[in-house]
Amino acid sequence: MLKFIYDLGVRLYGISILIASIWLKKAKLWIQGRTNWKQNLKNNIEKLSNPIWFHAASSGEFEQAKPIIEWIKENYPNQKILVTFFSPSGYELSKKYSLADLITYLPLDTPQNAKDFLTITQPKMAIFIKYEFWLNFLFEIQKRKIPCFLVCGIFREKSPFFKGILKTLFQRALNAYNQIFVQDKLSFELLKNVFDPAKITVAGDTRFDRVIKIQKNWKPVIEVEKYLPPKPILMLGSSWYPDEIWLKKIIPLLPEWHFVIVPHEISAEHNQKLKKIFPEAVFFSELENKEPLKYKILIIDKMGWLSRLYNYADAVWIGGGFGKGIHNTLEAAVYGKPIFFGPNYKKFHEAFGLIEYGAAFPVHANTSTTEIVHFLRENIQHASHSAKKYVIENQGSTEKIVKYLKNYL
């Protein structure tokens, strides 16, 4: 009965995405990416022999997979890598990742899809990232005795493993994992009540290793560098409309500062909104191949540079905190940047760490602009030092994980 409820829910979800695809671009991409998936997979899988399969929800989670993939390719260069995504945004941003031999969408989690996918791909190993729990895939993986791992896992009290009518079904699915690597002790304490503690390792978050490597190999963004405004610079990274409205409020209080905005999504519609909010701003696309101008606000309306651009900032506002959740704070913290973000950071362990270290300032609906300005002016040196210190002290997750995976390679 529980399995029937889960399968019905999955199918209803698929139908809802199909209906939404009539008017939502993201839903349309979700459907299009899975059309004729079996034949497309068969056509492309021939070059892959027993790949290691990584699955991530979206691009943020895929950042956690990259250090492990890089280690595998460095130590086992002939090993093939298969990557799947649930989200169209993750697929679109990562589909050209050079170390993966094949990147595609994960089909809808039905029993038959799980059987067909695993029959076609024949993975040597399955590695899921953070909180992607698709039960039919896990049950089929367990049935076929495929080594399976969860890395950078996060578990909370409200998780379906501990609450709700399907919790026993979700707990059964845990048996598919040979080992679960969690980010924090709270996840371990919760999980050990329903899963063998010997199969749980507190390994931390591989993104610390990822951002440290990016920082060590940093290269100037030559395309943008000559157009950047004078320092000090407050950079708004992966911004959404509510973040941009907050920036509008604080700009008059910081006459000595300049501002760079890097939107999370770039579109003509969003650009029009930005022009209304910041009529004095200059867009990078308008400046490109022209002589630099004097201006206070620059909007970078091109993608692919953000993690490198953070190095030019003196402080960073990370977007997404007034929506579904903040974007990657570690990409800025590794350069020693004081960080601001909105109130929706509860699901992000690193956000709490940065706040505890004094490196980050969470902005809530009732936060005053003077509080933000005070933090920026009075705490910038301490916050800068603390941000870098926090990242350095939390590196090493990849080493803990691959040390275990070696036994299966």
Mean pLDDT (the chain) is 94
Amino acid making up residue 310: Y
Q: pLDDT value at position 1?
A: 87
* 210: in domain: no
Residue 351: beta bridge partners? none
In a domain, 126, yes or no: yes
The closest of 266, 269, 276 to 301, measured between CA atoms, is 266
pLDDT exceeds 90 at position 144? yes
Whether 41 and 187 map to the same domain: the answer is yes
Please indicate, yes or no, whether residues 181 and 255 belong to a single structural domain of this protein.
Answer: no
Q: Would residue 334 count as lying in a domain?
A: yes
> Looking at the domain assignment, is residue 129 inside a domain?
yes
Whether residues 236 and 187 fall in one domain: no
Compute the chain's Rg from CA coordinates: 22
- pLDDT tens for 274-293 read 999 999 999 998 887 777 67
Q: Say yes or no: 101 and 192 in one domain.
A: yes
Instruction: Quote the domain boundaries for residue 155.
Output: 2-205+396-408
**H or E stretch at 318:** strand 315-318
Q: For residues 176 and 62, what is the distance between their CA atoms, to the nearest angstrom? A: 21
Q: Write out pLDDT tens, residues 49-91.
A: 899 999 999 988 999 999 999 999 999 999 999 999 999 988 9
Tally of helices (H runs) and strands (E runs) in the chain: 20, 14
Residues 56 and 150 in one domain: yes
| Alpha carbon distance, N-terminus to C-terminus of the chain | 38
150-177: burial string, b at 16+ Cβ within 10 Å, e else: bbbbbbeeebbbbeeebeebbbbbbebb
At residue 359, the 3 state secondary structure works out as coil
Q: Domain count of the chain?
A: 2
Whether residues 132 and 230 share a domain: the answer is no
Residues 92 and 142 in one domain: yes
Residue 199 belongs to domain with CATH number:
3.40.50.11720
Q: Three-class SS of residue 159?
A: coil
Are 400 and 389 found together in one domain?
Answer: no
Same domain, 181 and 330: no
Report pTM.
0.90
Side by side, which strands form the sheet with 258-263?
282-283, 297-299, 258-263, 233-239, 315-318, 339-341, 360-362
Residue with tokens 């992000």: 348
Give the amino acid at 150. Answer: L
Look at residue 203 in the predicted model and tell me its pLDDT: 97
| Residue-by-residue DSSP string for 289-339 | TS-----SEEE--SSS-HHHHGGG-SEEEES-TTTT----SHHHHTTT--E
Residue 294 has pLDDT above 80, yes or no: no
Q: Within this chain, do residues 234 and 122 fall inside the same structural domain, yes or no? A: no
Mean pLDDT across the stretch 389-409?
Answer: 95
Give the model confidence (pLDDT) of 358-374 as tens digits.
999 999 999 999 999 99
Looking at the fold, whether 146 and 224 belong to one and the same domain comes out as: no
Q: Per the domain annotation, does 366 fall within a domain?
A: yes
Q: What is the CATH number of the domain that holds 248?
A: 3.40.50.2000
Distance CA 361, CA 341 (A): 7
Question: pLDDT-based confidence at 38, cuts 50/70/90?
Answer: very high
Q: Would you place residue 160 in the very low, low, confident or very high pLDDT band (cuts 50, 70, 90)?
A: very high
Strands (E), 42-91: 52-56, 81-85
Same domain, 98 and 221: no
Express each pLDDT in 169-179 by its tens digit. Answer: 999 999 999 99
